[in-house]
Structure 1
Amino acid sequence: MDLGERDPISGHQTTGHEWNGIKELDTPVPRGILIFLVVTHIFAVIWWFLMPTWPLVTTYTKGLLGVDQREIVEDDLRKAAAERAPWMKGIETASFEEIQANENLMAAVRQTGPQLFGDNCAACHGAAGTGQAGYPDLTDDDWLWGGDPEFIAETLRVGINSPHQETRVAQMPAFGRDEMLSRSEVRNVAAYVYSLSNPSVLTSENVDTIAAGREVFVASCAACHGDDAKGMTEVGAPNLTDTRWIYGGSMDAIITSVHGGRQGHMPTWDERLTPAEIKILALYVHSLNVGKP
């Protein structure tokens, strides 16, 4: 192709490139673009001298302005900590009743609690605290270890089945897998537990099965869940008579739990969070279910 060819409409020479009959014009770069490139390059060179820029072997160029982003961030954190110190100290030293009676402190709880929850708890319990499979709903007032702020704070502090020396310990044995119950006993007790939250399933056809499951329950499960199956917060055993389930309340899910056992886990927060932050989280979590049925 002749590189000297000119476009008959614009009068510009072509580059010699052609795609599907479309020829590329050899037009100059717009002056505005050239000016912009020159200005940005000049700015970049000036910025190299003014700001910390180039890494060296053991240090970096400090810049003529002496700006240190690390010092700026540390200073901002010190100022924020100083502003928070009065009410954080108040929360740390006051009882839960005193905090709840102090509107200023509760305003700080409502402002700080969501951030603490989002940073530390939402990954398991969900952003709204409604839980997910294997993690309890914190908004339904159905608590394994008690729902008063004091109990919640203690659970946060020591964790559940955590490495903390004072951790709360809870484990449901694998009754079927470890052959503590036979296959029929597992199914019978699962049928009984299922009937507690679904009484309509009790019929004349399965009354004997459920009665047999009740006997297995009394012998093997009542020590933790109680004779009435409403759970015991002393050992973290859930209420089996409602419709709030951690691992699922279907017949199959209950059989899976009875057969294979369950062992939840919650980390201890007493090294990551301050006592005041644990109190704030406890009060915030407690507030998630206030006024709900």
Structure 2
Amino acid sequence: MAVDERDPHTGYMTTGHEWNGIKELNSPVPRPVYFFLIVTALFSVVYWVLMPAWPLGVTYTKGLLGIDQRAIVSESLKEAAIERGAWTKRIEAESFKEIQADPRLMEKVLQTGRTLFGDNCAACHGTKAQGGNGFPNLTTASWLWGGDPESIAETIRVGINSAHPKSRTSQMMAFGRDQLLKKDEIDSVVNYVRSLSNPAVAKEVPAAKIEAGKAVFAANCVTCHGDNAKGNAELGAPDLTDRFWIYGGDAESIYTTVWSGRQGHMPSWDGRLSPLDRKILALYLFDLRRSAQ
């Protein structure tokens, strides 16, 4: 270890430490460092004097400016409540059509509705409301119980096959399991139903089977789905002529539906969501459907 050695290049003394030929210089601390340390210390003193800073048992130093973050937050919440109250009262009092006619009011509805949907509905219907196996796609025009805001709001309120006394009730019969139809009859009606929404099926399947399926449909299915198979919103029976399927529109899925039946379930949100929230959610879903078309 060298002692009292001066570096020939910088003129600084060395500390005597050396690592693989690299010697440590005893160079002075740069002056800007002292400057920023002094500024930081002065800032701290000024901050302690002006702002709440030091705990004093059950209280604290209030500072000369008297700033109270809790009071600021409380005031902000009060202002937000007043501002929210102005437009929520309108939503509670006005009809669906009146609300939809006001673009600025609808902007508030859509912002709030998006949050309500994410918190309460997305778990089943997906974050984009496009559903999944067993859960309807809410962005289409295919609604089991009607897609106008009033019908949507009522469905949200009472649910489907729920515990609510006014729940919407619907069930697809198990034609195969309960031996209401024979296997060949189910095969035929599955082909016919597929052909309603997919013209290519009619070209692939012999016309005789399609006609046989049509006869089975007329004898067993028209009561709920209608003569034209476009469903019945009074019964919650889906339209079988479009391409929107809750449980899948392939041959295997439709066969399972006809054989085993279906009984969907949606909980009642009466008591879970306020009438205001249900109204906002209905308007949001209706607008979401229109935007997706």
Q: Fold conserved (TM > 0.5)?
A: yes
- Alignment partner of 1:243 is 2:240: no
Q: Alpha carbons of 1:227 and 1:62: their partners in 2 closer, same or farther (altered >3 Å)?
A: farther
1:194, CA displacement in angstroms?
0.8
The residue that corresponds to 2:106 in the other structure is: 109
Distance 2:199 2:158 in 1: 37
Q: Say if 2:189 and 2:210, in contact at 8 Å, map to a contact too.
A: yes
Summarize the Cα distance change of 1:61–1:68 in structure 2 as closer, same or farther, 3 Å threshold.
farther
- Percent of paired sites with the same residue: 48
Q: Indicate the residue corresponding to 2:281 in structure 1.
A: 281
Where does residue 290 of structure 2 map in the other structure?
Answer: 290
Deviations for 1:198-244, whole angstroms, at most 9, x for unmatched residues?
Answer: 23322596222222222222222211111111100111111101111
Alpha carbons 1:109, 1:280 under 8 Å: kept: no
1:47-74 residue CA offsets vs partner (Å, 9 max, x unmatched): xxx89x9xxxxxx977666x99988766
Matched letter for residue 163 of structure 2: P
Q: How far is 1:250 from its partner?
A: 0.7
The TM-score, its normalising length taken from structure 1, stands at 0.71
CA spacing shift, 1:268–1:117, aligned 2, 3 Å = farther
Q: CA deviation at 1:192?
A: 1.2
Q: Structure 2: give runs of 5+ residues left out of the alignment.
A: 1-13, 15-36
Q: Give the alignment of 1:6-85 within 5 angstroms.
A: 76-85=76-85
Cα 1:213–1:118 change in 2 (3 A) is: farther
Letter in 2 for 1:100: Q
Aligned to 2:262: 262
Aligned-partner Cα distance in 1 for 2:268–2:85: 24
Alignment pair present for 1:234 and 2:231: no
Q: Which consecutive unaligned segments of at least 5 residues does structure 1 have?
A: 1-11, 13-35, 54-59
SS in 2 for 1:288: helix
Match of 1:198 in 2: 198
Distance 1:126 1:286 in 2: 16
Shift of 1:292: 5.8
Does structure 1 residue 216 correspond to structure 2 residue 216?
yes
Q: Provide the C-alpha distance between the structure 2 equivalents of 1:273 and 1:86, rounded to a whole number of angstroms.
A: 20
Question: Which residue is 2:168 aligned to?
Answer: 168
Aligned-pair RMSD on alpha carbons?
A: 4.3
- For 1:4, the equivalent position in structure 2 comes to none
Following the alignment from structure 2 to structure 1, what is the Cα–Cα distance between the partners of residues 183 and 267? 34
- Report the TM-score, using the length of structure 2 for normalisation: 0.71
Contact 1:134–1:246 at 8 Å: present in 2 too?
A: yes
Q: From the superposition, tell whether residues 120 and 227 of structure 1 become closer, same or farther in structure 2 (CA, over 3 Å).
A: same
Displacement of 1:157 after TM fit? 1.6
